[in-house]
Each structure stands twice: as C-alpha cells, then as structure tokens.
Structure 1
Amino acid sequence: MVRFALQYAFSVLFFIGASGIPATKAQPNILPVERSLSKHKKELRRFPYLEMIELKSLIPSIIYDLRYASPNNFMQRLMYPAGTNSTYLRRPAADSLLKVQQELKSQGLGIKIFDAYRPYSVTQHFWELVKDERYVANPAKGSNHNRGTAIDLTIIDIKIGEELDMGTGFDHFSDTAHHSFKQLPESVLQNREKLKNIMLKYGFAALSTEWWHYTYQSPIRFPVLDISFKKLRRQ
C-alpha cells in the first residue's frame, strides 16, 4: 500500500492536469488521445492506477442498463456496438464505486449504471449529430467519460428491482433534471439527495444539470482514450 501511494504521488509530478500524460509528450492546443492498446498496457506497467476496471468484475451485484448499447437513449440509435455488455472506470474510481455499492447494499439498495467509459470516437459521433455542449461533450475538450472517470447511474431497491424515483429519466435534458430544481415531490428530492450524498462521500462530484452524472475527483486528469470495449478486455 505504501509503495503504491509513493508511486502514485511520484507520478503526479510528471503528469499534467490538462491531459494526464507525461508533459514531454503533450502538444499545445491538441488534445492527446490514446488509441493504442499496446501503449495503454505499457503505461499500466508504470502506473497501475491507469487500469480500466470492468465494473462487474469488481462489483458483481451492480446492474447494467447500458443505454448507448441500445436505441433506448436520447439519440434513439445504437452508439456502442450491438451486444456491448461491459463498462469500465479507472482503478481509483472503480474502487470508490465499490464502497458506494457496499454502503447502499447495507440499506437494501444498489447501483444501476447507464454509462461509464465512453470511447472518444463515440464522443466525436455525438458531436457530429448534436453540436450543443448543453447535451454532449465537445471533442476539442474531451469528456471525463473518455477518461474513465465519469459515470451515469441511479439507485435501485434490491428487493423489488426497481429504480428509486428521481423525478426524470436518464438523459432528460431540461431544468427538472438539475440539482437546483426543487419543485418536485419531497420523496424525489430525498432520493436525489441520497445519491448525491453517497457519491460525494466516496470522492465523486456532481454535475449541476444532470442528477445521474458524477465524476471521480483526482489530483490528475487521466488520459483520453479511444480504445474499444472489446480491446479493453485484453488489457
């Protein structure tokens, strides 16, 4: 544990905040994007925390409802390959999500995931279809989903297998999905607060306009990846 902590702290000195890759490799005004699995694996040998963890491999009890692997999303089309049944977060974010699930489980609750890691090419495709930063990330900046640190999720009641009422569905783009919107039943406000409080407790930050979206907070910004789900299984 001490060795890992020292390695982590040492690596931060050589990683820049804007991209999370060694400063000597960064190019000004160009977003670095890692597309090579072999280079990713090479970096893992130096910095193990860069590992992309398939979430069910770490947290078998979580539920997947991967919306972009079906037409059941705001784009109304497949954005991931048909049959995609895996999703990923960086090691520190995944470890924190495990703690979230463990605490919720003690209350008879659990996590349902709508999305986590998103290959950069998918973010580019989103932008081609909807050039509006209120709804999709600008590829010029990259997304925390591309970095493996953002997650879209909700809470379910384990006993009945149903989602807690959050007032809107996932990817509902109106002010009713904002954390600041209070004209909702008290039970809905409490459910949103429950999700927000537990995510903040374990190191995630909320997005003000989307009750379902959280980003893991880290001293570095991890590299943007454009590696397929299929290839990541071989890391």
Structure 2
Amino acid sequence: MTALAALLPLLVTAAPTARGAALVDVSALVPDAVVDLRYATAANFLGRAVYPPDARCLVRADVAARLARAAERLRTRDLRLRLYDCYRPLAVQREMWRLVPRRGWVADPRHGSNHNRAAAVDVGLSTADGREAELPTAFDAFEPRARADAAAGIPSVARVNRDLLRAAMEAEGFRVNRAEWWHFDAPEARGAPILDVPLAPAALAGSPPPRP
C-alpha cells in the first residue's frame, strides 16, 4: 500500500470554498507528532491567538504523506516532529497582515502564503519523551540565528538538531525557508489554490475526535 493510499481513510472533506480540495489531520497519520500550534496561543510573534483553541494541523494529503516519511526518518534518531503551524486560512492571513504588515515576517494576503495552500509547515523537534528539543532559536524568532544556515552563536546540539530536521524534510522533497529554520515548503505548493476553510473541527466533516 502506498503512503497516499494509506491516507484515504483519514481525509477530511473540506468546505465548498476549498474547491474540492481535501485536507488531512497530520496527527492522525503521525500519532507521535507533538501538536504545538502556536497561533492557537499567544506564544508567537503576534502576541495573541489567531486560531481557535481546537485548531488542528491540516495539510494536503500528499504533503501529509511526505511528513509521515520525514517523521519515520527522525524516529531512527529518537526524535519526533513538533508541529508549530500547518494549513492557515486566508482569513487568518489577512488578520496577521493587519496586525503586522511587514514582508519577511508575514506574507501579503493578496498573493497568499504556502500555508494558505496547505502546502507548507512550520516544524521543530521533540525528544522521544515529548520534550522540546534544543534548536537555534525559539519559533518565530526573527533574528540572524534563525537563518537555516546560521552558525554564529548556536550551540552544537542545537545545530545538529536543526540539521537533522532539515535533512529529514529535504529527503522527502520539502524546501527550507532560508530565513526560518522551522519553515518548509512542499513541492505541491506550486499551482495549489489558496484556501479559506475554517480550522475548527466542527467545520470539517469526517474529522477524527481530538486526542486526549
């Protein structure tokens, strides 16, 4: 069975605004991933929540299959994926731009972000017991050390973890954002439509129940 075929029972039927697209709850496919959606909290550069508290990590089915394979690579190093951000509705992109209209920090909603296409993820690492692994900076730290190739001022353990994450993601076709070690774009972003499907589970038919 192919990875994409294994995804079929997990597909979340999107609202009509998705133009027939289907999104997948990554935690259903990668059950050991630590879901840490920062935009459902105030622990982000905006300083406030812009997602509902019950938001889920949703992506395109083919992107989810890539993430599952990357997670498998990381397990061989006793590491787990930590999911900071996944699909982002266009309405939220507009709100982020209203709050911080600064290119390089927020994508202009007139053109959209690959997060709006459900084809980009912000990820980190956790140890086998779920603790956040050491990485060069905190998520959303827009500073020189956040660059994907930064070296100065970064402890060796953090650099090794960053490079392991990048290697696992790039081996499955993702491309890192040079300015943000945590941001990875999938090749499926090219030509994918911008979506505005709500993140609340009630709006997503067929969603599995929340994990305890």
What is the CA-CA distance between 1:180 and the residue it aligns to?
2.7
Match of 2:109 among 117, 130, 139: 139
Within 2, Cα distance between the matches of 1:210 and 1:234?
33
Give the corresponding residue for 1:217: 187
What is the CA-CA distance between 1:155 and the residue it aligns to?
1.1
| Pairing 1:187–2:165 present | no
Identity %: 30
**Residue identity in the other structure for 1:70:** T
| Pairing 1:65–2:65 present | no
Within 2, Cα distance between the matches of 1:216 and 1:39?
22
Asked whether the equivalents of residues 168 and 176 of structure 1 are also in contact (C-alpha less than 8 Å), the reply is yes
Give the corresponding residue for 1:200: 170
Relative to structure 1, the CA distance from residue 85 to residue 119 in structure 2 (aligned partners, 3 Å threshold; closer, same or farther) is closer
Compute the TM-score of the two structures, normalised by the length of structure 1: 0.77
Within 2, Cα distance between the matches of 1:208 and 1:107?
24
What is the CA-CA distance between 1:108 and the residue it aligns to?
1.5
Give the corresponding residue for 1:229: 199
Give the corresponding residue for 1:162: 131
1:86-125 equivalence runs, <5 A: 86-125=56-95
Give the corresponding residue for 1:80: 51
Compute the TM-score of the two structures, normalised by the length of structure 2: 0.84
Match of 1:176 among 131, 145, 163: 145
| Pairing 1:37–2:15 present | yes
Within 2, Cα distance between the matches of 1:39 and 1:233?
12
Q: Structure 2: which 5+ runs fail to align?
A: 5-13, 207-212
Asked whether the equivalents of residues 116 and 152 of structure 1 are also in contact (C-alpha less than 8 Å), the reply is yes
Q: Structure 1: which 5+ runs fail to align?
A: 5-35, 44-49
Within 1, Cα distance between the matches of 2:16 and 2:59?
19
Asked whether the equivalents of residues 147 and 221 of structure 1 are also in contact (C-alpha less than 8 Å), the reply is no
What is the CA-CA distance between 1:139 and the residue it aligns to?
0.7
Within 2, Cα distance between the matches of 1:214 and 1:56?
18
What is the CA-CA distance between 1:218 and the residue it aligns to?
2.9
Relative to structure 1, the CA distance from residue 94 to residue 154 in structure 2 (aligned partners, 3 Å threshold; closer, same or farther) is same
Within 2, Cα distance between the matches of 1:178 and 1:84?
31
Asked whether the equivalents of residues 34 and 81 of structure 2 are also in contact (C-alpha less than 8 Å), the reply is yes
Give the corresponding residue for 2:27: 56
* Matched length: 194
Relative to structure 1, the CA distance from residue 57 to residue 117 in structure 2 (aligned partners, 3 Å threshold; closer, same or farther) is same
Asked whether the equivalents of residues 69 and 172 of structure 2 are also in contact (C-alpha less than 8 Å), the reply is yes
Structure 1 segments, 4+ long, off by >6 Å, are none
Give the corresponding residue for 1:9: none
149-158 or 55-64, larger mean C-alpha shift: 55-64
Asked whether the equivalents of residues 69 and 79 of structure 1 are also in contact (C-alpha less than 8 Å), the reply is yes
Asked whether the equivalents of residues 97 and 108 of structure 2 are also in contact (C-alpha less than 8 Å), the reply is yes
SS of residue in 1 equivalent to 2:188: coil
Match of 1:129 among 99, 115, 119: 99
Within 1, Cα distance between the matches of 2:177 and 2:17?
31
